[in-house]
A and B are shown apart, each in its own frame.
Chain A
Amino acid sequence: AQTVTQSQPEMSVQEAETVTLSCTYDTSENNYYLFWYKQPPSRQMILVIRQEAYKQQNATENRFSVNFQKAAKSFSLKISDSQLGDTAMYFCAFMKYGAGKSTFGDGTTLTVKP
């Protein structure tokens, strides 16, 4: 079974600053995907970024980038130029290739302060 650990229950950052959210996972699988999801107060899950395990290059999506360390089973999210709208709960998630279902971490509540 897979486990996903987010060790930071809460974090805060000043607007326009950079923040990094941590995630580690445990799996015996070799082919899998990793995700970061954002859940704002509306509670709608929004996909932020995705990483395929077979790709060495770290994924980036505008202000969001990841640091994927496969050997260390680490998958952190960096948010640059933080905006007030980034305030949300962020979940790291693991999906075994082809499984469709995800295992989620406990989440990190991020507050961006003006």
Chain B
Amino acid sequence: GAVVSQHPSWVICKSGTSVKIECRSLDFQATTMFWYRQFPKQSLMLMATSNEGSKATYEQGVEKDKFLINHASLTLSTLTVTSAHPEDSSFYICSARNRGQTSYEQYFGPGTRLTVT
């Protein structure tokens, strides 16, 4: 149980286009999902907290107009990178909290590799 999926696993897009990444909790309801960004061999940096039915909370320094987050249901959050540029190339990881579990439980998706050419 407690599986989180991400789609796509790898995406290549041209500079200036937008790309959407999906994060789904497959067997539980996630009231809160988190989006992280990871550069090669570096740490995970929290970008934003996505709450079902409300606006996302962005970390300091993250452009909310560039990284659009939508959490329309208890099992799906999406991250849209708008007008992507090569510097947006990175590994994006989501995690989800199970509303029925204890406060420390956090389940990670397998990540999405974004390459902007």
Contact = CB atoms under 8 A, between A and B. Distances in A.
Partners in one complex: yes
A102 B34 CA distance: 9
B41 A107 contact: yes
Given A43-B110, A44-B111, A100 B42 contact: no
**Is chain B's binding surface mostly helix, strand, loop or mixed?**
strand
Interface in A81-110: 89, 91, 95, 97-98, 100-107, 109
Contacts, number: 47
Interface residues of A, number: 21
**Is chain A's binding surface mostly helix, strand, loop or mixed?**
loop
B41 A101 contact: no
A100 B51 CA distance: 12
Contact of A107 (B32, B43, B97, B103): B43
B41 A95 contact: no
Given A91-B43, A107-B42, A43 B91 contact: yes
15 contacts: A43-B38, A45-B93, A45-B108, A50-B104, A95-B104, A98-B103, A100-B103, A100-B106, A101-B46, A102-B44, A102-B46, A102-B106, A103-B46, A105-B43, A107-B41
